[in-house]
Amino acid sequence: MSRAGIETVEVRLGDRSYDILIGEGLIAGAGAEIAARLPGIGAAIVTDENVAAVHLRSLQQSLEEQGIRAAVISLPPGEKTKSFEALQEVVDGVLAARLERGDAVIALGGGVIGDLAGFASGIVRRGMKFVQVPTSLLAQVDSSVGGKTGINTGHGKNLVGVFHQPQLVLADTGALDTLPAREFRAGYAELAKYGLIDRPDFFAWLEDNWKAVFAGGAERAFAIAEACRAKADVVARDEYETGDRALLNLGHTFGHALEAATGYDSARLVHGEGVAIGMALAHRFSARLNLSSPDDAARVEAHLRAVGLPWRMSDIPGELPDADRLFSYIAQDKKVSRGALTFILTHGIGRSFIARDVPASEVMVFLRDNHPG
């Protein structure tokens, strides 16, 4: 449904259902949207220094207009902020602001801030209200929706966290105009993912319209809303990732291993780029196992190349650990169950499925064959 240029997508979870609002000007109007749903609250805004410089004052002013008292917790940008140390800083900041359980943590930023702030809101006072104001494309179409929160450790990505749903998501498409080109491209990988999972027509549409999505306007808003609808449908069916929701991890098992292998160094690899390479690897691995056609893998790789995303391990600057070390990261990934390797593989474009008990020997040979060394 839409109103005054704002698209609304509902995440249906019974009495915990919430809206994703998509459109321009939502940061400036955030106070009114929040006050209408959470009257009388206080808040803590969690953001990073880069986002704060561009968007914080607009959000603060909108909250002030509604009489919402808001403390600010500003952190360094980058994946390394998803840490125990930053989590403690956020928790301490929320408690120092004397916020109560019925108050809210507002995440203003990309996926790192959303995951970290969501985790903090899920554990402080055993669960506070939570509002997502995602400012990156990746966060708007993926990490801000569905309630998965967490931090990284030296053992891997997102291994510590909780499921904690927001009360509202405000995806201001105008905020994307300030993104660096690399960060927008990285978020686009998650857009393409929804087409590759189970919406082949959407992937074909992206192949034809990706330049318009990058340019902004109606095509960009349509693509974001379509991705949010896709994720909302899956979350409504499987909130805690015991079944179909695992499909949303297409490309992530390989991608997370590559992020860990680069030490979460965003100069070398950001999350969306890892997902892009991971999706290409998942399609190539599926073809190797005779589950799909090599033509499908080539089509995925061609689209990623066209939009300027990396699609193979050799596109990552610097040296990577050997295949044995990469495999150890995969084996540590949270998608491993009782020691069995689980991957999201595919029978073709838009025909992904959960593959359990994938032979470790096949994965090792595949990693060695595709390793740039």
- Give yes or no: 256 in active site: yes
- Give yes or no: 271 in active site: yes
Which one from 82, 252, 334, 335 is the annotated catalytic residue?
252
Query: Strand 129-134 to strand 104-109: parallel, antiparallel, or no bridges (unpaired)?
Result: parallel
What 3-state class would DSSP assign to 343? strand
Look up residue 168 and give its amino acid.
L
How far, in Å, CA of 73 to CA of 90, rounded?
Answer: 7
Which one from 245, 283, 303, 335 is the annotated catalytic residue?
245
Quick check: 184 and 273 in contact, CB under 8 A?
no
Question: What is the total residue count of the chain?
Answer: 373
Which one from 55, 82, 148, 199 is the annotated catalytic residue?
148
- Give yes or no: 245 in active site: yes
Which one from 220, 271, 284, 335 is the annotated catalytic residue?
271
- Give yes or no: 259 in active site: no
How far, in Å, CA of 158 to CA of 256, rounded?
Answer: 9
- Give yes or no: 148 in active site: yes
Q: Give 247-282 as a DSSP string.
A: GGGTTHHHHHHHHHHTTT-TTT--HHHHHHHHHHHH
Quick check: 13 and 236 in contact, CB under 8 A?
yes
Which one from 241, 259, 273, 301 is the annotated catalytic residue?
241
- Give yes or no: 190 in active site: yes
Which one from 190, 259, 273, 301 is the annotated catalytic residue?
190
Which one from 231, 299, 334, 335 is the annotated catalytic residue?
231
- Give yes or no: 80 in active site: no
Find, among 75, 1, 70, the residue nearest to 30 by Cα: 70
Which one from 249, 283, 284, 303 is the annotated catalytic residue?
249
Look up residue 372 and give its amino acid.
P
> What is the DSSP code (8-state) at residue 372?
-
Which one from 256, 284, 303, 335 is the annotated catalytic residue?
256
How far, in Å, CA of 201 to CA of 206, rounded?
Answer: 9
- Give yes or no: 152 in active site: no
Q: Strand pairing partners for 2?
A: 7
> What is the DSSP code (8-state) at residue 320?
-
How far, in Å, CA of 150 to CA of 160, rounded?
Answer: 5
- Residues annotated catalytic, as ranges: 126, 148, 190, 231, 241, 245, 249, 252, 256, 271
